[in-house]
Amino acid sequence: MSLQTANGKKLYIQEVAPRDGFQNEKQFIDTDRKIAFVDRLSDAGYAKIEVTSFVSPKAIPALRDAEEVMRRIRRNPDVVYAALVPNVRGAERAMDCEVDEINLVMSASETHNVANLRMTRAQSLAQLADVIASVSRERVAINVSLSTVFGCPMEGDVDPYQVFELAARFAALGVHGVTLCDTTGMAYPSQVARIAREARKLFPTLTLTLHFHDTRGMALANTLAALDEGIDRFDASLGGLGGCPYAPGASGNACTEDLVHMLNLMGYDTGIEEHTLLDVASGLPELVGHALPSHLSKAGLRSRRHPAPGSRPTP
Amino acid sequence: MSLQTANGKKLYIQEVAPRDGFQNEKQFIDTDRKIAFVDRLSDAGYAKIEVTSFVSPKAIPALRDAEEVMRRIRRNPDVVYAALVPNVRGAERAMDCEVDEINLVMSASETHNVANLRMTRAQSLAQLADVIASVSRERVAINVSLSTVFGCPMEGDVDPYQVFELAARFAALGVHGVTLCDTTGMAYPSQVARIAREARKLFPTLTLTLHFHDTRGMALANTLAALDEGIDRFDASLGGLGGCPYAPGASGNACTEDLVHMLNLMGYDTGIEEHTLLDVASGLPELVGHALPSHLSKAGLRSRRHPAPGSRPTP
């Protein structure tokens, strides 16, 4: 299994804190500081950064500066700069800012889609099909993030074939990638293995991403299960930023530094140095005004050495 | 791999909070409350409970009531009641209280052994050999917990063959079980797989336990790696109680409810219901006077349902 065969295998780590994290913050984060944050992430070795969301400023005031952030960040040519887009209007705004990739979103479960997007899944599908058509002549990659793939906090288990049917519809519409999202931390390793295996079999040409939350502590275990099925692309959020409205106080997204630390130790090539991440993450609590669930920020890297008791520090 | 083949496989969960957790608490926990806590754990379905430690009351005042706790707890015949024993005097005290199993402890790394036990490893080995000899005519099981197996916070990497040599010495002295402890959360999945596989090969007749800490967020991922190598016995601590003096504020032991929740979802037979654990765990913050790192206590079980927004609760 993959535990023994990492052997320098290339993995793609995609940072979602500037979008999935910041959108949940009650206190508005200054535009200049958002830009400085993304600029520091740009040199960390990520494959992709989800920068912002071109939604209505009324719906998500935290990201009302989407245009300015997207236009003013420094672009590293090795990084894909993505933005979430809910509709044709959002796609136009994103195209005006020359995003590399647009990320569409809808839920695998009907109740969550209605709760989160105020639309039925059929309405979401139609709306997102319009978005895809509207950018079909642009040079932009299109990814769709499917929420509640591993369980819905309102409905419970979600039939994987509902998920695959949605993915197939989007594949037919021409999306390049699909992200399977564990929106509220309901995924568990054997389920992840099963769904990842089936998804790879059904969609060999789609770029598959797994997006875990650590709500119930299983984000890294689920990553292991996905790796074992050949998944090589993961969303994560610096500091574990990002929450879940259904579990106040609980951990949010899979924490990038915890994830990268584990993967690097196992011999994967993430392209990211944990030191860089810890350095950027150290400013996050001040930036967002609260503590974060990151383990590594508290404990330090595995390679950290402590002096033996009684030993004297060298002068 | 084990992800698909759990299929009701029996796992043995061993609770260490009353010893490994309580020993780190600054505020003395009332003896009656300790007993009530262990009594509630006794009905939860554990294979083993490490109840206390027969160390010098001066060394660990938090457990100065070892005799009283051990004598007054109610014994469930399906549970092994273990206690930590550092020396012959401790073994005598434990035998007087009729413990089912004594747990010996020393470190795989020299520096940690000296720091933690104020002895060289050679001295620890000699002292523990005396303990084993002293109880050889008693009907008591003997386990040895080896610390820093997956890394030492002062020395760094630990040669697995140092660990296996120690385990072989103890096996020759007649111990029944060996626990491989990740004392400060330095284990990572591929390393766990390698060491677990080798240990099972070298010691087919010893009862092997894995003891993880969640200091760097990898406790559940490491458990997955160990399961995949056929390990079926795990220490864990309710609420994630138990700390690491080298990482203040960091998570402690693997959290029992988080662990059991994942294993049950995967189809293993832990014999434990998460509801019971959450119920007992809910009293822990008040008992110890501080918050605990448990994910499940914050987020609730995966099976928890939330009402859809706008839906009305039934009257």
- The enclosing domain of A20 has a CATH number of 3.20.20.70
Residue A171 makes CB contacts below 8 A (sequence gap 6+) with A178, A203, A205, A206
- A146, containing H or E segment: strand A141-147
The residue assigned the tokens 């920020």 is A297
Burial class (CB in 10 A: 0-12, 13-18, 19+), B37: buried
Average pLDDT over every residue of A170-196: 97
**8 Å CB contact between A280 and A260:** no
ipTM of predicted complex: 0.96
Q: Residue B154 and residue A305: Cβ atoms within 8 Å?
A: yes
**Distance of residue A291 Cα from the nearest chain B Cα, in angstroms:** 12
Interface of A with B in 184-203 (CB under 8 A): 185-186, 188-191, 193-194
Minimum-distance CB partner of A299 among B189, B216, B306: B216
Contacts with A298 from chain B: Cβ below 8 Å: 247, 249-251
Question: At residue A250, does pLDDT exceed 90?
Answer: no
Structure confidence at residue B314 (pLDDT):
46
How big is chain B, counted in residues?
Answer: 315
Structure confidence at residue B251 (pLDDT):
79
A306 touching chain B per CB within 8 A: yes
**pLDDT tens digits for range B31-50:** 999 999 999 999 999 999 99
B88 touching chain A per CB within 8 A: no
**Distance of residue B221 Cα from the nearest chain A Cα, in angstroms:** 4
**pLDDT tens digits for range A8-19:** 999 999 999 999
**pLDDT tens digits for range A50-67:** 999 999 999 999 999 999
More confident residue, A248 or B269: B269
Tokens coding B155: 């020395």
Compute the distance between CA of residue A300 and CA of residue B145 in angstroms, rounded to an integer: 25
Residue B250 makes CB contacts below 8 A (sequence gap 6+) with A295, A298, A299, B185, B215, B216, B243, B244
Structure confidence at residue A315 (pLDDT):
47
Question: At residue B213, does pLDDT exceed 50?
Answer: yes
Q: End-to-end alpha-carbon separation of chain B, Å?
A: 48
% of chain B at pLDDT higher than 70: 95
Q: Residue B296 and residue A217: Cβ atoms within 8 Å?
A: yes
Q: What is the 3-state secondary structure (H, E, C) of B105-154?
A: EEECCHHHHHHHHCCCHHHHHHHHHHHHHHCCCCCCEEEEEEECCCCECC
Contacts with B193 from chain A: Cβ below 8 Å: 3-4
A146 - beta bridge partners?
A: A106, A180
Q: Identify the residue among A234, A251, A259, A302 best suited for mutation to test binding to B, counting B beta carbons within 10 A and taking the highest.
A: A302
Structure confidence at residue B259 (pLDDT):
98
Structure confidence at residue A314 (pLDDT):
46
Question: At residue A142, does pLDDT exceed 70?
Answer: yes
Question: At residue A1, does pLDDT exceed 60?
Answer: no
Q: Name the band, by pLDDT with cuts 50, 70 and 90, for residue A258.
A: very high
The residue range of the domain holding B231 is 8-299
Structure confidence at residue A308 (pLDDT):
82
Q: Identify the residue among A216, A270, A311 best suited for mutation to test binding to B, counting B beta carbons within 10 A and taking the highest.
A: A216
What's the whole-number average pLDDT of chain B?
94
Minimum-distance CB partner of B295 among A251, A255, A305: A251
**pLDDT tens digits for range B8-35:** 999 999 999 999 999 989 899 999 999 9
**pLDDT tens digits for range A299-311:** 999 999 988 876 6
CA distance to A185, A259, B234, per residue, from B1 (Å): 23, 22, 19
**8 Å CB contact between B97 and B135:** no
- Residue B141 domain-assigned? yes
Compute the distance between CA of residue A104 and CA of residue A94 in angstroms, rounded to an integer: 12
Contacts with A193 from chain B: Cβ below 8 Å: 3-4
- Residue A152 domain-assigned? yes
Average pLDDT over every residue of B204-211: 98
- Residue A126 domain-assigned? yes
**8 Å CB contact between A278 and A257:** yes
B285 touching chain A per CB within 8 A: no
Residue A9 makes CB contacts below 8 A (sequence gap 6+) with A232, A268, A269
- Residue A30 half-sphere exposure, CB side, CA atoms within 13 Å? 6
Compute the distance between CA of residue A19 and CA of residue B118 in angstroms, rounded to an integer: 51
**Distance of residue A37 Cα from the nearest chain B Cα, in angstroms:** 24
**Distance of residue B21 Cα from the nearest chain A Cα, in angstroms:** 18
Q: Identify the residue among A295, A296, A303 best suited for mutation to test binding to B, counting B beta carbons within 10 A and taking the highest.
A: A295
Average pLDDT over every residue of A193-201: 98
Interface of A with B in 219-258 (CB under 8 A): 220-221, 223-225, 228, 244, 246-247, 249-251, 255, 258
Q: Name the band, by pLDDT with cuts 50, 70 and 90, for residue A2.
A: low
How big is chain A, counted in residues?
Answer: 315
Residue of B nearest to A246 (CA): B306
Structure confidence at residue B18 (pLDDT):
97
Structure confidence at residue B8 (pLDDT):
94
Q: Where are the alpha helices (DSSP H) in chain A?
A: 2-5, 31-42, 66-72, 88-96, 110-117, 121-134, 160-173, 189-202, 219-228, 256-265, 274-281, 284-288, 296-299
Q: Which residues of B161-200 are buried (b: 16+ CB within 10 A; e: fewer)?
A: ebbbebbeebbebebebbbbbbbbbbbbbbbbbebbbebe
Structural domain count, chain B: 1
**pLDDT tens digits for range B160-203:** 999 999 999 999 999 999 999 999 999 999 999 999 999 999 99
- Residue A4 domain-assigned? no
Q: Residue B266 and residue A309: Cβ atoms within 8 Å?
A: no
Q: Identify the residue among B5, B149, B158, B190 best suited for mutation to test binding to A, counting A beta carbons within 10 A and taking the highest.
A: B190
- Residue A214 domain-assigned? yes
| Residues of A with catalytic function | 244
**Distance of residue B99 Cα from the nearest chain A Cα, in angstroms:** 33
Q: Name the band, by pLDDT with cuts 50, 70 and 90, for residue B1.
A: low
Tokens coding A283: 């400013």
Question: At residue B313, does pLDDT exceed 80?
Answer: no
Compute the distance between CA of residue B104 and CA of residue B87 in angstroms, rounded to an integer: 8
- Residue A309 domain-assigned? no
The residue assigned the tokens 């040519």 is A77
**pLDDT tens digits for range B57-114:** 999 999 999 999 999 999 999 999 999 999 999 999 999 999 999 999 999 999 999 9
Q: Residue B300 and residue A247: Cβ atoms within 8 Å?
A: yes
**pLDDT tens digits for range A278-300:** 999 999 999 999 999 999 999 99
Compute the distance between CA of residue A11 and CA of residue A268 in angstroms, rounded to an integer: 7
**8 Å CB contact between B306 and A261:** no
- Residue A301 domain-assigned? no
Burial class (CB in 10 A: 0-12, 13-18, 19+), B51: buried
Q: Are strands A233-236 and B12-15 parallel, antiparallel or unpaired?
A: unpaired
State the Rg of chain A over Cα: 19
A15 - beta bridge partners?
A: A49, A236
Q: Name the band, by pLDDT with cuts 50, 70 and 90, for residue B2.
A: low
More confident residue, B204 or B249: B204
| Residues of B with catalytic function | 244
